[in-house]
A and B are shown apart, each in its own frame.
Chain A
């Protein structure tokens, strides 16, 4: 629907509804936001026999913050489904290990291109929070967004390089699929119904990304030998970069430390 027709519809519908969608139509897929793209160059295969790995840990230095309980009273379902929900902004575990840090190759891959996975990445709205909280996806790879809750959610992706979108999922079990047309690190997701619900997604044109687990570790496997800029991104603590050079079959360890 064009903006002009939207405005005309809006004028006619001040008091009465404007024919719009019904509940079933809400269950729609959101198409890729780009127009007709030029044919992608052939993917450059990485020789598994020479592939290298970058591993490491992300740590927090200082007094670790305590996750705060979230007030869920604005939605009785959430209150019942997930009464112990706490903030996920900073999760610091044993020995200062930070969870949910997005680590990726920021630079160094040159003009290499990589195949787009057809397997969707799933973002679930369950217990009135997003699972996972931080994750990565490749350009063109389907993102399947699911509402597993018996309450209404809206899925609002506040993309800047990609197209912003906001779609309602009022019924339990609803799914929608979205794809991103260009790389963007990071895109915040939020549910405007439940102000505490947010997630972050890193969209890249290559598969070399990871999210730190509870022990703060990450692993970037299958890298072609070379010199890379590795960036660690955290939603509150910011970013850090390091340069690492890996040879054939080599594994190198990189450590990131964020300070309070």
Chain B
């Protein structure tokens, strides 16, 4: 049940990011001026009939955020009680701390009238929370666990591909950086600073510059960089590991999501930031990030096995839970 619940939490985090994207895309961030209450009502007591205009997006975002926060509290407790691996339990605590911080940032940005720095931090930390919940869902999944057990016993050293590990880490890090640049672009109102696509004012390089054009152009250069890195990662997987489903599948998904992301980015500009397209661009960017993260973690799986085998991290857990029978002990 824990892997299913962890996957549900990760999916709900993606939904939350989409809802947050809608808030920014509809400029509804200040439509509810108070926080954590909503127009004086306790959040969950606010009448649905009053969720009009921008309130609909802002209040819905708050409701989903509270739900996700609650789910992560449950997840952290569940991991603490049932997870033998210490580092996975710690991931739960970090996810909990991150989502609490995220909630505080969300409140502060409303009460302080959306200062750019806080809003950008709120958007950037959302991606970290999504990465954490996705990582927990991955490492508690049956596939990861089984490979984990197998790798301790018989994983051939040849399956560790240093090149893939490195390129995947770089790709994931650059995707995150690209998302932070995108968040900066959104929250500083630079989304249409370059109004045409694929060119910039009809040229490859903008003929005029200001801070907004620079941020926007940096996001486009970032998109090109991310595209090349993802293609390199995918190419490496298909060339060297095409039989490994755990790498091939996220590589295929990454290619699909990348294509979709570029299309949504172009449509965001061409539609003059139509709010649904814009928000889909935000959440799809997050999906690109976590898919690359999953591929990266799976590429590093053998290292996790070696590390866990050497640390005896389950000892403390076993002491607290004498009835615990390690997974695979009966196999």
Q: Name A's B-contacting residues (CB within 8 A).
A: 3, 6-7, 9-11, 13-18, 20-23, 25-26, 74-78, 151-152, 154, 156, 164, 166-168, 170, 192-195
Q: Shortest beta-carbon distance, B122 to chain A, in Å?
A: 12
Question: Chain A contacts of B70 at CB under 8 A?
Answer: 15
Question: Chain B contacts of A10 at CB under 8 A?
Answer: 35-36, 103-104, 107-108, 111
Question: Chain B contacts of A14 at CB under 8 A?
Answer: 36, 66, 69, 99-100, 103-104
Q: Which of A25, A74, A78 contacts B56 (CB 8 A)?
A: A74
Name the CB-closest residue of A to B101.
A11
Q: Shortest beta-carbon distance, B275 to chain A, in Å?
A: 10
Q: Is B34 an interface residue (CB 8 A)?
A: yes
Q: Is B54 an interface residue (CB 8 A)?
A: yes
Inter-subunit contact B40/A192 (CB<8 Å): no
* Count of inter-chain pairs, beta carbons less than 8 A: 103
Question: Chain B contacts of A154 at CB under 8 A?
Answer: 30-33
Inter-subunit contact B40/A151 (CB<8 Å): no
Q: List 29 A-B contacts (CB under 8 A).
A: A7-B104, A10-B36, A10-B107, A11-B104, A13-B36, A14-B66, A14-B99, A14-B100, A15-B66, A15-B69, A15-B73, A17-B36, A17-B43, A25-B40, A75-B53, A77-B52, A152-B39, A154-B30, A154-B32, A156-B30, A156-B33, A166-B33, A168-B39, A192-B27, A192-B29, A193-B31, A193-B53, A193-B54, A195-B28
Q: Shortest beta-carbon distance, B330 to chain A, in Å?
A: 39
Inter-subunit contact B100/A11 (CB<8 Å): yes
Question: Chain B contacts of A193 at CB under 8 A?
Answer: 28, 31, 52-55
Q: Which of B49-87 contact A (CB under 8 A)?
A: 50, 52-56, 66, 69-70, 73
Q: Which of B129-172 contact A (CB under 8 A)?
A: none
Q: Known pairs A10-B35, A20-B40, A23-B41; list 6 more (Cβ under 8 Å).
A: A9-B36, A14-B69, A17-B43, A26-B39, A152-B50, A168-B34
Inter-subunit contact B39/A170 (CB<8 Å): yes
Chain B: interface size category: 35 or more
Q: Is B24 an interface residue (CB 8 A)?
A: no
Name the CB-closest residue of B to A11.
B104
Given contacts A17-B37, A164-B113, contact A192 B50 (CB under 8 A): no
Q: Which of B1-51 contact A (CB under 8 A)?
A: 26-37, 39-43, 50
Interchain CA distance A70-B50 in the complex, whole Å: 21
Inter-subunit contact B108/A6 (CB<8 Å): yes
Question: Chain B contacts of A16 at CB under 8 A?
Answer: 36
Interchain CA distance A153-B99 in the complex, whole Å: 30
